[in-house]
Every structure is written in C-alpha cells, then in structure tokens.
Chain A
C-alpha cells in the first residue's frame, strides 16, 4: 500500500457525535480534510452549521442531524436516516458528552443520571445501532471518547460521576473490541487530558491553582488544542491502525505516564 493511502479516508463515511463545537467540530473537520464524508450529530442540526461549513470547505459532503444521543429511539431513527442518506457508515466517532464538576456529596441525582445517559448510554446506543450496520458491512472503525479521569490517573480529579462514565466507556471499548474483532470492526478510544474547549471554560480554566499545576506538573507544560486530537483520531480510524483494537490512547501531553494533578474548587 502507498504510504499516503494508509491515513487516507477518501470514500469513507464518518459519523461524528457532539460535532457542533469543541473537540467534535475539530475532529469532524479533520476527518473531512483526510477525505471522509461526514454525518454530524449534535443536539440540534443547527448546532453543527459551522462544522458542516468546514467539511464543505474541505471539499467533502457534510450533513447535520439533530439527535439527543441519550435517547435510544432518536439514535435508532437518526442512524437509519444517515445510513439511507450516505449508503453506509465506515467510521463512528462518539464525542458527544457533558460534564458536571460538583462535589459528590452535593451532586443532584438528576445530574448523575443525565451524565450517565449522555456519556455512557449515548456511546452504547450509537455503538449498538452503527455496530449492526458495520457487522452487515463486515468492517468499520469506532473511536470512543474516554478521558484521562476514566481510570488512568484516577484520583483527585474532583469529577467522580463524570469520570465513572469515562471508565465505563473504556470498558465498553475493550469488550466490543473482543466481541467484534473477528468481523473486521476495530473499537478503540482516545483519553484526552485537558483541552481548550468551552466545556472547560467556566470550570477548570478559571481555577488559577489548577492551571498553575498544569503548567508546572504536566510534562508538556500546556493544555491541548482541539486540533491536536485530529492526528490520534484519524490514525485510529484509518488503515494505519489495522492491527490496533481495544486500545485506550491517552492524548495528554504525558500526564498518564507521569504526573498527578489534583483538582480542588477555589
């Protein structure tokens, strides 16, 4: 195989959830830059307007779909619609997610439920529905979104309910890798540390003590930029990773290998 073709996604159809902003928008754009057609899911189709524009600017077909991934009926209908519109689904990137940085003793049950429903169930429903299509195609690549807090350097993250959903996603990823490995479907996850997105804007980036630790203790001395997730996700979604499945890939400037950073509210 030609070396450029290893990472080339031309002719592939990629479904990205949480594509409206943040990491989802960066990844959806990156996939298009590497040649993929993109079905962008977010809570409303309108959320993904800029994403679709970026996909189109990269010369690829992009379509936006409104779907709450926590709702299995909505997932079923939307995935069926995407399969009808694009004819197939080769790549699934589950990025839709929410966080709630509240001390555990003060955490309202409804918030715990919603976190679990969006992050974990949302990933599960998407894998289930798209998995059926990939099994029928006898091939596909799934990249889920875990997080460094999902059991990698697990302590002191100040985000217990969220971290538990990301650990569940890591576990699901490994199980599905085994269940579907023989049928040509690879299932991996990325585990980012702290990236510059709106999700973190109001919580950790305004916490001076936390940011000081990031800058002093994190080996690379900086947080990540959304575009720095493109390389890892394109790699895992492409032929270049043909022998990789069940992997949880930290994209963390070295944090998992080295340093404990503690989060305390200020």
Chain B
C-alpha cells in the first residue's frame, strides 16, 4: 500500500536538506527519482541517491527562471517515460524587516516558491491526466498558517501554496490526481541553522514543541510516502502538518 515500485517521481529542490531526504525516501520505497536542483550535482547527493538503490537522474534547472522551468517535466518524461509523483520542494529564505524588504528578493521568492509550483503542477497534471492519475505533494511550512517574523515574502508564498493545493485538488480530483501538501515544523536543516544556533530562541522553540525535539529530515519520509502512495487515495487538498505538535500548543 505504501510501495512506489514502478512509479516515477520528480522532486524539485532535491539536491540537499529536506528535499534530498525526501528524494532518497521515495527511491528507497522503489520509485525512480528525477532530482532537480539549481547548483551542480554534489557528492552528498550522489552518495545518498546511489545508496537508495533505485534508478535516478539529476535535472539541473533554476526554477526561479521561467525559461528553465518550462520544459522540466518534459525532460523527465523523455528520460523516464512517465511521471506519477511531483514533489514541489524548492525554496529559499530571505529575512528583512517588511518596511525595507528588497523588492527584487520579493519577486524572486514569489517566482520560485509560488509561480513555479503552479507551473510545474500544470505541466505534471497534463501528463498525469493522460496516465489516468498521479500525486502532487507541495512542501508548505508552518508559514502556511502563521505570519512569521521579517519573512513576508516567504509567508506570502507559503500561504499561496496552501491555497493552490486546495484549488488544484478541487479541479483535478475527478481526474484521480490528488494534490496535498506537507507543512514541516521546525526541522534541523541549513535553512534553520541560524535559529538552531541561537541560544535564546532555540530552547524557547524546543519547549513549545510537544514532542520535545526538533524534526529530523527522516521524519518527513513517512508522511511523504503516505501522500505519494495509494495509502492516501481518499486524502485530497490537505496540508499535512509534521511538527511534533507545534500547531496545537
């Protein structure tokens, strides 16, 4: 029920961090994985994906650039013959007080974290419709629900992704394409390193998490396999919070 043998998945932002953990998780469950990232293929990526033991390939493209994202799904289909699972994971973070917030950064974040999610979903759904179905999993954040602090573009993009998840779920449900999202809480990755290292903020955050600990990238693999597999065929349009209980406290 949770196996992905014979499925082809595309993970954007899969070169490192949570994206890489998720790409490797899909591969360990049997999927062929197309990993997308902006920078050159890294040794860590090669090592983790090879260890996972399924066919995979790296597709370099800067998804903030419309020209580069335009043909991405087609490139994957040309290489692997189909696309069953799309994980929209690419994201960046930029902090600045809203009054001074750099407008170039605003455009970049909205383009990469909202517009690209829509465009890739559109590309993928056209393929999935012909195949008779598919799974799209967007990576949200607690910023799908909360305002955050000095991260206005990130929060706006993630709220947008939450809305888009529901809108696309609604339109494509009858085509057997389920669209859901995962909203990770506080996870120990490069993106959160400044907070993790902050002696004042870190214990405050940890104390608020009922599970009493930060998430590890591996904690996202189970939820992703659930949403990417037949186990969740009647779950649609949901933003699945994986946060050790942060949101309920």
A contacts, CB < 8 Å to B: 1-3, 6-7, 174, 177-178, 180-182, 186, 219-221, 224-225, 228-232, 234-235, 238-247, 249-254, 256-259
Complex CA distance for A231 and B2, rounded to whole angstroms: 8
Q: Are B222 and A240 in contact (CB under 8 A)?
A: yes
Give the residues in chain B near A258, CB-CB below 8 Å. 166, 169-170, 237
Say yes or no: is B226 at the interface (Cβ < 8 Å to chain A): yes
Q: Are B169 and A177 in contact (CB under 8 A)?
A: no
- Nearest A residue to B233 via CB reads A228
B192 to nearest A CB, angstroms? 14
A212 to nearest B CB, angstroms? 15
Give the residues in chain B near A239, CB-CB below 8 Å. 222
Complex CA distance for A99 and B6, rounded to whole angstroms: 42
Q: Are B245 and A3 in contact (CB under 8 A)?
A: no
Interface residues on B, range: 35 or more
Q: Are B237 and A219 in contact (CB under 8 A)?
A: yes
Say yes or no: is B84 at the interface (Cβ < 8 Å to chain A): no
Q: Are A257 and B245 in contact (CB under 8 A)?
A: no
Give the residues in chain B near A186, CB-CB below 8 Å. 211
Give the residues in chain A near B235, CB-CB below 8 Å. 232, 249-252
Complex CA distance for A181 and B213, rounded to whole angstroms: 10
Q: Closest 4 CB pairs between A and B?
A: A240-B222, A257-B237, A181-B210, A231-B231
Say yes or no: is B205 at the interface (Cβ < 8 Å to chain A): no
- Nearest B residue to A171 via CB reads B248
In the assembled complex, 8 residue pairs joining A and B whose CB atoms fall closer than 8 Å, in A order, are A3-B221, A174-B248, A181-B212, A224-B234, A234-B1, A240-B223, A241-B242, A252-B235
- B residues 1-33 near A (Cβ < 8 Å) are 1-2, 25, 28-29
Q: Which of B166, B185, B230 contacts A243 (CB 8 A)?
A: B185
Given that A7-B222, A228-B234, A231-B226 are known contacts, is A244 also in contact with B1, CB under 8 Å in the complex? Answer: no
Q: Are A257 and B222 in contact (CB under 8 A)?
A: no
Given that A178-B245, A245-B210, A256-B237 are known contacts, is A240 also in contact with B232, CB under 8 Å in the complex? Answer: no
Say yes or no: is B218 at the interface (Cβ < 8 Å to chain A): yes
Complex CA distance for A168 and B235, rounded to whole angstroms: 22
Complex CA distance for A245 and B237, rounded to whole angstroms: 20
- Nearest A residue to B222 via CB reads A240
